[in-house]
Structure 1
Amino acid sequence: MATLLLFAVAVWAGAQNALAGGGSFLLLPTLMFTGMDALAANITSCAALFPAQVATGWTGRRFADGANGLSLRALFVISVIGGAVGAAVLLGTPPGIFARLVPWLVLFATAIFAWGSFFRKPSKTGAHLSAPSAGLAQFLISIYGGYFGGGIGFLMVAALTMAGQSVRVASATKNVLAGVMNASAVAIFVFSPELHWRQALITAVGATIGGVFGARLIHHIDERLLRFFIIGIGAALTVGLFLKAP
């Protein structure tokens, strides 16, 4: 029963990520429901969603570009290093401490998602971040991505548009960089005993199926309503995690 539930949620999460993002809000509590602690669920979710991220980044790679004098290759390297740092910090975090951090991380990710969905105004003229500032912003986002990852898409789009990219280019670039930063994290996570391979494989298959399905539905669904739904899930999960926090 738990396996079927996990697969169904993974399909939904994959479709949700393809349509608007926020799939990790569903996967994290579901993986915890299968018996994992918060740390193991976060690591397993990151590894399981990686194949879909690679496929998404590869599909739109031709639109990705550098920002304000900072080449795409430089952003690539920064993301790899930052993702590895974040993953290493996560593995060094005791499960009990991470369990207490999770409600705050989900709250932050939900707030970022809401801001990016309804309040953030894309940059229209000129670059506001210099190349060094854009590089530092991407490094910090990558560390957060390797550690937890919720809301990194909106954080990257915000930083890249402030560095002069158009929204379309920033969206394609963040898809590439999200896969890159998680590649370095997953390369570290595969050696962790906290990675539950059976659940990761089930989730990966389900999320990939859902991602393909979601990509085909993207022009036939009210994205605004979907974003409200995702924020509602994040808010409910935040409250639940705070109530259950040790």
Structure 2
Amino acid sequence: MTLTLLVLFLASIWAGTQNALAGGGSFITLPSLMLTGMDARAANITSCVALFPSQIVMGVTGRADAQSPPGLKFTTLLVISLVGGAIGAVVLLMTPPSVFARLVPWLVLFATVLFAWGSFFRKPPKPGEANHLSPWGEAVTQFCIAVYGGYFGGGIGLLMMASLTMAGLAVRNAGATKNVLAGVMNASAVAIFVFSPDVHWLQAAITAVGASIGGWAGAVMLRTVNEKLLKLGVVAIGLLLTVGLFWRA
């Protein structure tokens, strides 16, 4: 067990670094937590709780650049994210572990494809380009993302980057805004998950400490590491994890 927890700690450092540099850290924490003996649902819940502190730090750090798209109040987006995250968390807790175990390979595959699309194929909007999402469209989209985020969470950053830029935000502002909204939707999910017996607190604490160390290291390395190679690594890990989960299911 000691060796398994050491592996979890080292993997959590990797996950925190990965999140700071390119995203996709949950692809590391999910199988690492399952390695300690958890089922997929418990690992997903524990990972959400464990990674929450670093998400708060990211949101607070970039708060000055966060803003709402034209026609929407920022408080509206916050409320939508809060409610959607809570709904997703409740639905997850109502999902039997056996059912979630069958769903999770598809969820990881979806998140991997989404990450690959956002990293290598999606073109950022050009300055002055017309918006594709109305304020109502963005509100509905954000709610759906928040529900998905509370339920699973893989790829929510890319989904929000796509919707916020399509709603009229510049890429830099969209990045800061999605960090704040991710923290809010996960806050509502964590507030529900902390009462669940599926949270394995020892593993959550180890993951939180490791991810925090990794997040700091990633921030230091941000200007020297090849981001494209990191993103390719995330896609490769996601595909391997998908194959492994389908094989296990």
1:187 Cα deviation from its structure 2 partner = 0.1
TM-score computed with the length of structure 1 as normaliser: 0.99
Given residue 196 of structure 1, which amino acid in structure 2 is its aligned partner? H
SS class of match (2:37): coil
Kindly provide the CA deviation profile for residues 142-162 of structure 1, in whole angstroms up to 9, marking residues without a partner as x.
Answer: 000000000000000000000
Kindly provide the CA deviation profile for residues 29-67 of structure 1, in whole angstroms up to 9, marking residues without a partner as x.
Answer: 110000000000000000000000000010000000001
User: Within 2, Cα distance between the matches of 1:42 and 1:205?
Assistant: 17
Given candidates 127, 132, 138, the residue that maps to 1:134 is 138
1:168 Cα deviation from its structure 2 partner = 0.6
Given candidates 206, 211, 233, the residue that maps to 2:210 is 206
SS class of match (2:223): coil
User: Within 1, Cα distance between the matches of 2:206 and 2:185?
Assistant: 22
Answer yes or no: is the 8 Å Cα contact 1:68–1:127 preserved in 2.
no
Kindly provide the CA deviation profile for residues 56-97 of structure 1, in whole angstroms up to 9, marking residues without a partner as x.
Answer: 010000000001211211111100000000000000000000
Question: Residue 158 of structure 2 corresponds to which residue in structure 1?
Answer: 154
SS class of match (2:191): helix
4+ residue stretches of structure 1 with deviation over 4 A? none
Given candidates 3, 24, 27, the residue that maps to 1:25 is 27
Question: Residue 50 of structure 1 corresponds to which residue in structure 2?
Answer: 52
Given residue 52 of structure 1, which amino acid in structure 2 is its aligned partner? S
Given candidates 24, 33, 36, the residue that maps to 1:34 is 36
How many residue pairs match? The answer is: 245
Question: Residue 65 of structure 1 corresponds to which residue in structure 2?
Answer: 67
1:123 Cα deviation from its structure 2 partner = 2.0
User: Within 2, Cα distance between the matches of 1:119 and 1:74?
Assistant: 31
1:126 Cα deviation from its structure 2 partner = 2.4
Given residue 199 of structure 2, which amino acid in structure 1 is its aligned partner? L
Structure 2: gaps (5+ residues): none
After TM superposition, list the pairs within 5 Å mapping 1:88-237 onto structure 2. 88-124=90-126, 125-237=129-241
User: Within 1, Cα distance between the matches of 2:90 and 2:215?
Assistant: 28
Question: Residue 242 of structure 1 corresponds to which residue in structure 2?
Answer: 246
Given residue 176 of structure 1, which amino acid in structure 2 is its aligned partner? V
Identity %: 65
After TM superposition, list the pairs within 5 Å mapping 1:11-22 onto structure 2. 11-22=13-24
Kindly provide the CA deviation profile for residues 171-228 of structure 1, in whole angstroms up to 9, marking residues without a partner as x.
Answer: 0000000000000000000000001111001100110110011011110000001000
User: Within 1, Cα distance between the matches of 2:65 and 2:36?
Assistant: 39
Answer yes or no: is the 8 Å Cα contact 1:9–1:26 preserved in 2.
yes
Structure 1: gaps (5+ residues): none
Given residue 241 of structure 1, which amino acid in structure 2 is its aligned partner? L
Given candidates 85, 88, 104, the residue that maps to 1:86 is 88
Moved more, 68-77 or 133-142: 68-77
1:6 Cα deviation from its structure 2 partner = 0.6
User: Within 2, Cα distance between the matches of 1:240 and 1:2?
Assistant: 19
Answer yes or no: is the 8 Å Cα contact 1:46–1:186 preserved in 2.
yes
Given residue 122 of structure 2, which amino acid in structure 1 is its aligned partner? R
User: Within 2, Cα distance between the matches of 1:167 and 1:134?
Assistant: 16
